[in-house]
């Protein structure tokens, strides 16, 4: 068995609902191993985004432990965790600086976790590498290295976000419905590149998706959240036996 990268132990996250405190995550336990590519399904309100926010530090658990390679990171800030966690959001506008060019965004991502100081950017020296990486996506991003990120199409900007999130290999990559805002063709193209990128870098990844077909097709594990709890955790072997019809039984409303 691979070593655990991240362990969530008896995690409780609560929030105010009116005048009462309501639990969102309820004694949640999850162990993520090196090389896992885990799809996460759940209806609205099941706790998927809260789970991600708890891992990144945007939400503080009421109780429980968050262990990164055995080290409790609950007291680490969002900025501290960003040195080893990467996240791609559903909204293509998030995760990139719109007024900076594609190359400038990539250079910024390349320096994640490094000490900042007064030094030459060496932007042009990185053009060949950035162009080669962008060309692998297949959406023409390699022709827009000098284009501001805000002028890109939604698919190109989301692809840029993925490149930025993986330019330096993170301990854990979080994909937060990163294809949900794209048309079917662009979504399919980005998912294919996502799988390629994860395989190339042997990344450990947790991916929220509302596409049942993608949850079945990609990754070696599949989690289902319901009312703040993990109600199913399918391994690679079990996933192969699943169908979309079988998954529907876990949802009170269709998760599409």
User: pLDDT class for 188, splitting at 50, 70, 90?
Assistant: very high
User: pLDDT class for 37, splitting at 50, 70, 90?
Assistant: very high
What tens digit of pLDDT does each residue of 108-146 get?
Answer: 898 775 555 434 467 888 999 999 999 999 899 999 999
Residue spans per domain, the chain: 94-113+122-166
What phi and psi, each to the nearest 5 degrees, are found at residue 195? -60, -40
What are the distances in angstroms from CA 67 to CA 15, 32, 152, 222, 226? 22, 10, 38, 21, 23
**Residue 252, pLDDT above cutoff 70:** no
DSSP E strand stretches across the chain: 4-17, 20-33, 37-41, 63-68, 71-72, 85-88, 172-176, 205-208, 221-226, 229-234
**What's the confidence (pLDDT) of residue 120?**
45
Task: Tokens for 202, please give them.
Answer: 């042997």
């Amino acid at each position: 068995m691979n070593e655990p990268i991240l362990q969530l132990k008896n995690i409780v996250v609560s929030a105010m609902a009116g005048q009462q405190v309501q639990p969102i995550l309820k004694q949640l336990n999850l162990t993520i191993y090196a090389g896992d590519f885990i799809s996460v399904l759940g209806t609205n309100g099941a706790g998927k985004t809260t789970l991600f926010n708890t891992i990144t530090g945007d939400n503080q658990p009421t109780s429980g432990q968050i262990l990164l390679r055995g080290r409790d990171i609950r007291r680490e800030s969002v900025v501290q965790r960003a040195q080893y966690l990467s996240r791609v959001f559903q909204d293509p506008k998030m995760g990139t600086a719109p007024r900076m060019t594609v190359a400038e965004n990539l250079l910024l991502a390349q320096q994640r976790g490094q000490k900042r100081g007064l030094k030459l950017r060496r932007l042009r020296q990185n053009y060949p590498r950035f162009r080669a990486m962008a060309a692998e996506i297949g959406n023409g991003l390699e022709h827009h290295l000098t284009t501001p990120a805000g002028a890109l199409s939604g698919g190109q900007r989301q692809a840029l976000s993925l490149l930025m999130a993986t330019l330096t290999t993170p301990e854990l990559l979080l994909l937060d419905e990163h294809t949900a805002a794209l048309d079917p063709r662009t979504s399919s193209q980005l998912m294919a590149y996502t799988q390629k990128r994860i395989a190339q870098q042997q990344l450990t990844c947790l991916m929220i998706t509302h596409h049942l077909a993608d949850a079945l097709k990609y990754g070696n594990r599949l989690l289902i959240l319901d009312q703040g709890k993990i109600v199913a955790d399918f391994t690679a072997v079990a996933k192969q036996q699943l169908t979309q019809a079988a998954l529907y039984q876990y949802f009170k409303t269709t998760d599409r």
